[in-house]
A and B are shown apart, each in its own frame.
Chain A
Amino acid sequence: QIQLVQSGAEVRRPGSSVNVSCKASGGTFSSHTITWVRQAPGQGLEWMGRIIPILGTINHAQKFLGRLTITADRSTSTAYMEMSSLTSEDTAVYYCARVRRNGLDVWGQGTTVIVSS
């Protein structure tokens, strides 16, 4: 059974960047889509973007255009989410998730990103 293992918690200064990785363990990305979702403290779920590694297709939510970069390395079955120009509003738990049968069926454990001066 595939698992998605994310990189550890990060603390960043406002204006800096953060890079979060998501590695498939016990399997590969195969033809699946990998989605990034974030959750601010005490808030709901927010879709950020997705990548289809086998096609190289990438889509972002409009609000993140220009400061969100999603990539994937098929050789290591690892996806990456990099966000720049961080503000305190970006403090959240960031999740990667696999799309299967149109549902997000396997999730990473989440990566806490704290943006604070």
Chain B
Amino acid sequence: DIQMTQSPSSLSTSVGDRVTITCQASQDISKYLNWYQQKPGRAPKLLIYDASNLQSGVPSRFSGSGSGTDFTLTITSLQPEDLATYYCQQYENLPLTFGQGTRLDIK
């Protein structure tokens, strides 16, 4: 199975901050990576697919980059509604695997 490692596990942030979350795959997954946002008690929401494509309806302050084994999710100018847990997920191979999550909270 492909292991996905996110860092940091948690991050204290402030509204307006630029936030970067990284995700590393245990082997080359090309661009086959998605990013999700999950708020407490809610289902995850797709933000980015194919490493860098913004899902329809997602604000442009979210962006993704990377290929191979190293990927980044960036949020420019963090908004209060962005406080959530973020997960990366690979689909290069079955089983699909997720990172352990990065929780954003208020500093």
- Pair from one complex: yes
- The stretch among B13-21, B65-73, B74-82, B94-102 that forms the contact with chain A is B94-102
The answer to whether A95 and B98 have CB atoms under 8 Å apart is: no
Does A45 touch B at the CB level, under 8 Å?
A: yes
The answer to whether B50 and A59 have CB atoms under 8 Å apart is: no
Q: A44-B101, A45-B87 are in contact. Are A104 and B46 (CB under 8 A)?
A: yes
* B46 in complex: contacting residue of A44, A59, A61, A103, CB < 8 Å: A103
Does A105 touch B at the CB level, under 8 Å?
A: yes
Q: A110: which B residues are within 8 A, CB to CB?
A: 43
Task: Give the CA-CA distance A109 to B41 in the complex, in Å.
Answer: 9
Q: Across the A-B interface, how many residue pairs have beta carbons closer than 8 Å?
A: 55
Which secondary structure characterizes the binding site on chain A?
strand
Q: B97: which A residues are within 8 A, CB to CB?
A: 47
Sample 15 A-B pairs with CB under 8 A, ordered by A number: A44-B87, A45-B36, A47-B97, A47-B98, A61-B95, A97-B43, A101-B49, A101-B53, A103-B46, A103-B50, A104-B44, A105-B49, A105-B55, A107-B43, A107-B45
On B, residues with C-beta under 8 Å from A are: 32, 34, 36, 38, 43-46, 49-50, 53, 55, 87, 89, 91, 94-101
On A, residues with C-beta under 8 Å from B are: 35, 44-47, 50, 59, 61-62, 95, 97, 101-105, 107-110
